[in-house]
């Protein structure tokens, strides 16, 4: 008998028929004797509908009130799922974030969980009751409703699993696990049986949209065993999905590269021929940060004759704003530069793998593979377990395919 936290996303509870499917799956785990906590998202489309109503009333709705509105989506689902469970003869009880209570800070629309009072949940579990908790939401010290931001239900699930010291946190979604890359681009992409938190973090932040990045950080911090599964698969088939672990076992040593991540949500800004002096990076990026624009990659080339080229990437939605900020700063004389160049037709491709740490030659293999296809690399950035490059957007699919093949990911990954 285990204590399992299961999280179901919006498409998994997108209709009453789907909710009934979830209830059956939960009932099956109960019948096997497990204690089950279910964390659910709003029904697919519901959060967007609610936010659209708010935006009809204000271009920038008050964040406290936006949370009050948005949190209703998950509240509907917990009630409906509990009704479906009771209809199957399974004792169930729903809780909002405030009822649990999931205490957060007061950063409305992007609150962070501070503490979970798991006593009430534990009492229900011991009585054999399935506990159904609203994801995505919490409550601050003053009783105000807060939400955790998009994808926050994953974080709710992992945080509850951590607080309850659950044996496993199962994240049910519309894919059956984490793949070496997007199967829509590379049909040979392979589902990974296991992956480490760090790799998952890189894959998630690089654009593999399986799990919210904060939930992965959370899981890594509290050593929660997370498994990604599909809610569309037949539960009788005993699907195993992908287990995200914090142990690097032998299997992992073998799998040098775990996957190819990519994203086309970014844009590149280059400040060319800028004076090469201490403080110049701050002069450029300080105003960007002050404008609340997040920066991802940052690259600075070694300068010649006292000048250097400085490039960074931002989210494409903030590209114009970032350029405007820099034009303004440059006009105000805060830095001198020969030229400001923006490019929002770029893509980022990353090779991710725990093996990167110890195996040389992986970077050069990546660069050679791209060069062989005539794909020019515009920026390079590396971390302990990933190499990311920026290329022209039009080569994205080609790059992903040739890298997937070069690292033999369809076979289980070696090629290093």
We find the least distance from the C-beta atom of residue 21 to its own copies, in angstroms, to be 12
In this structure, what token pair is assigned to residue 412?
């289980």
Helix, coil or strand: residue 384: coil
Position among 11, 79, 275, 295 found at the interface with its own copies (CB under 8 A): 79
Position among 32, 62, 324, 372 found at the interface with its own copies (CB under 8 A): 62
Closest CA to 22 of 129, 14, 225, 48: 14
**308: left (phi > 0), else alpha (psi -120 to 50), else beta?**
beta
Q: Give rounded-to-5 percent helix, strand, coil for the chain.
A: 40, 25, 35
Helix then strand count (H, E) for the chain reads 14, 20
Establish if 297 lies at the interface with its own copies (CB under 8 A).
no
Segment interacting with its own copies, rule: CB under 8 A, options 54-62, 153-161, 194-202, 338-346: 54-62
SS (H, E, C) 12-55: HHCCHHHHHHHHHHHHHHHHCCCEEEEEECCCCCHHHHHHHHHH
Segment interacting with its own copies, rule: CB under 8 A, options 4-12, 67-75, 208-216, 276-284: 67-75
Position among 66, 171, 204, 351 found at the interface with its own copies (CB under 8 A): 66
Establish if 86 lies at the interface with its own copies (CB under 8 A).
yes
Q: Are 4 and 29 in contact (CB under 8 A)?
A: yes
We find the least distance from the C-beta atom of residue 230 to its own copies, in angstroms, to be 22
Closest to its own copies by CB, 96 vs 378, is: 96
Q: Describe the crossing of helices 63-70 and 72-87 by its angle, rounded to 10 degrees.
A: 20
CA distance 18 to 11: 8
We find the least distance from the C-beta atom of residue 144 to its own copies, in angstroms, to be 8
Establish if 185 lies at the interface with its own copies (CB under 8 A).
no
Closest to its own copies by CB, 65 vs 397, is: 65
The pattern of x and - marking residues 347 through 366 that bind its own copies according to CB under 8 A reads: --------------------
Position among 3, 44, 69, 285 found at the interface with its own copies (CB under 8 A): 69
Establish if 143 lies at the interface with its own copies (CB under 8 A).
yes
Position among 12, 35, 41, 96 found at the interface with its own copies (CB under 8 A): 96
Q: What is the DSSP letter of 347?
A: E
CB atoms within 10 A of CB 415: 15
Position among 19, 349, 375, 388 found at the interface with its own copies (CB under 8 A): 19
We find the least distance from the C-beta atom of residue 46 to its own copies, in angstroms, to be 10
Q: Tell me the site size for its own copies, rule CB under 8 A.
A: 37
Establish if 53 lies at the interface with its own copies (CB under 8 A).
yes
CA distance 265 to 178: 20
Closest to its own copies by CB, 196 vs 231, is: 231
Establish if 65 lies at the interface with its own copies (CB under 8 A).
yes
Helices (H), 229-359: 250-254, 280-290, 319-331
Position among 3, 11, 28, 99 found at the interface with its own copies (CB under 8 A): 99
Position among 22, 71, 352, 362 found at the interface with its own copies (CB under 8 A): 71
Closest CA to 227 of 277, 255, 193: 193
We find the least distance from the C-beta atom of residue 68 to its own copies, in angstroms, to be 4
Phi and psi at 169, nearest 5°, equal -115, 110
Position among 3, 83, 297, 363 found at the interface with its own copies (CB under 8 A): 83
CA distance 298 to 311: 6
Binding site for its own copies (CB under 8 A): 16, 19-20, 50, 53-54, 56-58, 61-62, 64-69, 71-72, 75-76, 78-80, 82-84, 86-87, 92-94, 96, 98-99, 143, 145
């Amino acid at each position: 008998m285990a204590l399992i936290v299961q999280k179901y996303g919006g498409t998994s509870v997108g209709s009453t028929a789907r909710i009934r499917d979830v209830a059956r799956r939960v009932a099956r785990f109960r019948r096997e004797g497990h204690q089950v906590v279910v964390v659910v998202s709003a029904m697919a489309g519901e959060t967007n509908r609610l936010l659209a109503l708010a935006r009809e009333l204000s271009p920038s709705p008050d964040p406290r009130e936006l949370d009050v509105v948005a949190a209703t989506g998950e509240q509907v689902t917990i009630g409906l799922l509990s009704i479906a469970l009771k209809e199957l003869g399974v004792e169930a009880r729903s809780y909002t974030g405030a009822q649990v209570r999931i205490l957060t800070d007061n950063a409305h629309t992007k609150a962070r969980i501070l503490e979970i009072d798991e006593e009430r949940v534990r009492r229900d579990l011991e009585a054999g009751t399935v506990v159904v908790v609203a994801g995505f939401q919490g409550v601050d010290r003053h009783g105000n409703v807060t939400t955790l931001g998009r994808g926050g239900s994953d974080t709710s699930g992992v945080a509850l699993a951590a607080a309850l010291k659950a044996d496993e946190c199962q994240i049910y979604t519309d894919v059956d696990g984490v793949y070496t890359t997007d199967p829509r681009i590379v049909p040979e992409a392979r589902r990974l049986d296991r992956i480490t938190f760090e790799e998952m973090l890189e894959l998630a932040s690089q654009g593999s949209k399986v799990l919210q990045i904060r939930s992965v950080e959370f899981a890594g911090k509290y050593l929660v065993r997370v498994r990604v599964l599909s809610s569309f698969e037949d539960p009788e088939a005993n699907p195993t999905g992908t287990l995200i672990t914090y142990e690097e076992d032998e299997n992992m040593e073998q799998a040098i590269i775990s996957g190819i991540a990519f994203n086309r949500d970014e844009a590149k800004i280059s400040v060319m021929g800028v004076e090469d002096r201490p403080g110049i990076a701050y002069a450029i990026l300080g105003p960007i940060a002050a404008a609340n624009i997040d920066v991802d990659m940052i690259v600075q080339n070694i300068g010649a004759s006292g000048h250097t080229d400085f490039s960074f990437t931002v989210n494409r939605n903030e590209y114009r704003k970032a350029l405007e900020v820099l034009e303004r700063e440059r006009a105000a004389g805060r830095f001198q530069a020969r030229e400001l160049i923006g490019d929002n037709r770029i893509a980022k491709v990353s090779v991710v793998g725990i093996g990167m740490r110890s195996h040389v030659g992986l970077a050069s293999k990546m660069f050679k593979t791209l060069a062989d296809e005539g794909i020019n690399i515009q920026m390079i950035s590396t971390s302990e377990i990933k190499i990311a490059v920026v290329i022209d957007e039009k080569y994205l699919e080609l790059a992903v395919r040739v890298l997937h093949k070069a690292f033999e990911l369809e076979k289980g990954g070696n090629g290093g």
